[in-house]
């Protein structure tokens, strides 16, 4: 694993050749997304309350919810949400070549991508996909994950998706090691972890599903040789050091107690309400949108993809109305990097709060002069030498239309205040990894940033 992390110039394929392959794939394909009225969505049904359901009764639906919480602010609101109660697979096959694990990545087209093709896990399939509820071919490589033996499984975690958009959605994140020959479809390529992380430094190249799986790898679980240690950057060695730390400013028990206190203190009640009656929102023929145009809207689209074959289908997509920013502030405390983590309440969370990046909010004119969330200005005004990571990354193109957020990791100045508001906490990477093992603790935005950490 660590060999893979440190390998960027690889014999199988150079970084340039992979980037070129993605570019070519992008040019070869034409994706048209045409807005159509909801009633014209093939295989979708519009119920009397305007909620949208797949005709199979499976897959996902767009419904209305009312949210009440005693956590400020606001205390009560209504919104549409994506309801997809099934757990799907996000699976990556891994195989050793020349002593380094390689990961089988897919150049995958999604209708909502800003570009057409991004690097995706080997398998990305909802339960409806792989039980073939909405027709189509059987997902490639599915059986490797379904039939994986326990000694092949490198990673196997249930992880949450965006709590502001999905109602308690989760996926099964897996990495499965294989030995034998694997038939290689032309949309698939083997690459090292170092290469994937290198591609994450570019805008919108590695998709959200890949990032969440990669984030789950705990390097402290894997053997690191002196030679590999020497190959890493100073920052990489510092991160590995932090990954080994189960205790930092606070013990693991202390962090859990802080989170227990917050979960006990604040209630989150979510109930279904008819979509056409939710406050502040309007259901039109072809969009569900807020009167003030804030946050996001739901569209009906017909997707038309021309590639080696022609495929076409209809579905709802969610389009953001602003760009957002997700940023971790990190700081060396007593020689050890700590991440400034925020406990964030979102309506789709399964357990009230999840741990989020220091800053996770919309940008643009949305605050209209009102005070912005803590640390937002600090991150946006960071000097170049403080910035470890800065790239645009896309959210899941199967549900979100042209949604990209700025992902940043910023090193705090020496005089950055150690005292934090009550919903913020300093945590080591080892503590974050420990929480990652158990479901519904680290949110997808935080995981996406952890995945982007470079060690070389």
Q: List, in order, residues 6 or more apart from 295 with CB less than 8 Å away.
A: 79, 320, 321, 322, 362
Q: Is 85 in the site for a copy of itself (CB under 8 A)?
A: yes
In whole angstroms, how close is the CB of 350 to a copy of itself at the nearest point?
7
Distance CA 119, CA 306 (A): 19
Q: Is 269 in the site for a copy of itself (CB under 8 A)?
A: yes
* Interface residue with a copy of itself, options 76, 143, 285, 351 (CB under 8 A): 351
Distance CA 432, CA 437 (A): 9
Helix, strand, coil shares of the chain as percentages rounded to 5? 25, 35, 40
CA nearest neighbour of 422 among 266, 277, 303: 266
Q: Is 287 in the site for a copy of itself (CB under 8 A)?
A: no
Q: Using the minimum distance from each CB to a copy of itself, give the nearer residue, 25 or 168.
A: 168
Distance CA 396, CA 114 (A): 11
Phi, psi angles (nearest 5°) of residue 322: -140, 160
3-state secondary structure of 26: helix
Distance CA 259, CA 98 (A): 44
Structure tokens at 77: 């609101």
In whole angstroms, how close is the CB of 244 to a copy of itself at the nearest point?
15
The binding track of 205-234 with respect to a copy of itself, each residue x by CB under 8 A or -, is ----------------x-------------
Q: Is 390 in the site for a copy of itself (CB under 8 A)?
A: no
* Interface residue with a copy of itself, options 254, 274, 373, 374 (CB under 8 A): 254
Question: For tokens 């979960």, what's the residue?
Answer: 263
Name the CA radius of gyration of the chain, rounded.
22
Q: Using the minimum distance from each CB to a copy of itself, give the nearer residue, 70 or 413.
A: 70
Q: Is 258 in the site for a copy of itself (CB under 8 A)?
A: yes
DSSP 171: E
Q: Using the minimum distance from each CB to a copy of itself, give the nearer residue, 334 or 414.
A: 334
* Interface residue with a copy of itself, options 264, 365, 368, 381 (CB under 8 A): 264
The binding track of 296-335 with respect to a copy of itself, each residue x by CB under 8 A or -, is ----------------------------------------
In whole angstroms, how close is the CB of 157 to a copy of itself at the nearest point?
6
Q: With CB under 8 A, what is the number of residues at the site for a copy of itself?
A: 30
- 296 with 350: CB under 8 angstroms? no
What residue ranges in 70-99 does DSSP mark as E strands? 76-83, 88-97
Burial of 41 (0-12, 13-18, 19+ CB in 10 A): buried
Q: Using the minimum distance from each CB to a copy of itself, give the nearer residue, 157 or 195.
A: 157
* Interface residue with a copy of itself, options 256, 273, 366, 387 (CB under 8 A): 256
* Interface residue with a copy of itself, options 257, 277, 279, 422 (CB under 8 A): 257
In whole angstroms, how close is the CB of 153 to a copy of itself at the nearest point?
5
Distance CA 156, CA 76 (A): 36
3-state secondary structure of 431: helix
Residues 40 to 69 in contact with a copy of itself, rule: CB under 8 A: none
In order, the DSSP letters of 303-365 are EEEESSSEEEEEEEEEEESS-EEEEEEEEEETTEEEEEEEEEE-TT-TTSEEEE-SEEEE-SG
Residues 99 to 158 in contact with a copy of itself, rule: CB under 8 A: 150, 153, 156-158
In whole angstroms, how close is the CB of 220 to a copy of itself at the nearest point?
13
* Interface residue with a copy of itself, options 47, 87, 227, 311 (CB under 8 A): 87
- Options 75-83, 264-272, 327-335, 386-394: segment touching a copy of itself (CB under 8 A): 264-272
In whole angstroms, how close is the CB of 352 to a copy of itself at the nearest point?
9
Angle value at C-alpha 170, between 402 and 248, nearest 5 degrees: 95
- Options 99-107, 279-287, 375-383, 439-447: segment touching a copy of itself (CB under 8 A): 439-447
Contact positions vs a copy of itself (CB under 8 A): 85-87, 89, 150, 153, 156-158, 172, 221, 250, 253-254, 256-258, 260-261, 263-264, 267, 269, 350-351, 437-441
């Amino acid at each position: 694993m660590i060999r893979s992390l440190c390998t960027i110039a690889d014999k199988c394929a150079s970084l340039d050749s992979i980037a070129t392959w993605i570019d070519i794939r992008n040019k070869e394909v034409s994706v048209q997304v045409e807005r159509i009225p909801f009633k014209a969505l093939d295989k979708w049904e519009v119920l009397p309350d305007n909620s949208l359901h797949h005709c199979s009764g499976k897959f996902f639906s767009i419904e209305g919810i009312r949210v009440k919480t005693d956590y400020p602010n606001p205390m009560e609101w209504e919104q549409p949400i994506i309801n997809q109660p099934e757990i799907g697979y996000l699976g990556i096959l891994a195989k050793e070549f020349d002593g380094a694990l390689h990961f089988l990545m897919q150049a995958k087209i999604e209708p909502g991508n800003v570009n057409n093709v991004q690097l995706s896990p080997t398998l990305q399939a909802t339960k409806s996909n792989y039980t073939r509820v909405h027709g189509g071919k059987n997902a490639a490589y599915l059986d490797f994950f379904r039939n994986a033996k326990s000694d092949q499984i490198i990673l196997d975690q249930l992880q949450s998706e965006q709590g502001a958009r999905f109602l308690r959605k989760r996926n099964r994140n897996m990495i499965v090691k294989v030995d034998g020959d694997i038939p290689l479809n032309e949309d698939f390529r083997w690459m090292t972890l170092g290469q994937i992380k290198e591609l994450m430094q570019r805008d919108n190249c590695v998709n959200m599903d890949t990032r969440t799986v990669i984030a789950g790898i705990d390097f402290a679980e894997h053997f690191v040789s002196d030679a590999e240690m020497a190959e890493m950057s100073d920052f990489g060695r510092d991160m590995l050091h932090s990954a080994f730390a189960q205790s930092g400013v606070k013990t693991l028990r202390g962090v859990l107690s802080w989170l227990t206190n917050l979960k006990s203190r604040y209630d989150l009640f979510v109930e279904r309400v008819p979509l056409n009656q939710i406050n502040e929102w309007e259901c039109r023929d072809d969009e569900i949108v807020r009167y003030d145009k804030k946050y996001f809207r739901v569209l009906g689209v017909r997707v038309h993809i021309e590639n080696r074959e022609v495929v076409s289908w209809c579905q709802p997509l969610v389009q953001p109305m602003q760009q957002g920013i997700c940023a971790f502030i990190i700081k060396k405390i007593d020689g050890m990097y700590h991440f400034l983590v925020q406990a964030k309440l979102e309506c789709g969370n399964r357990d009230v709060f999840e741990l989020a990046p220091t800053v996770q909010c919309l940008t643009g004119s949305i605050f209209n002069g009102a005070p912005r969330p803590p640390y937002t200005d600090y991150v946006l005004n960071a000097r170049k030498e403080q910035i470890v990571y800065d790239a645009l990354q896309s959210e899941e193109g199967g549900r979100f239309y042209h949604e990209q957020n700025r992902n940043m990791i910023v090193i705090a100045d020496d005089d950055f205040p150690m005292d934090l508001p009550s919903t913020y906490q300093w945590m080591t990477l080892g503590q974050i990894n420990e929480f990652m093992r158990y479901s519904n603790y680290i949110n997808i935005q935080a995981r996406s940033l952890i995945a982007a950490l470079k060690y070389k």
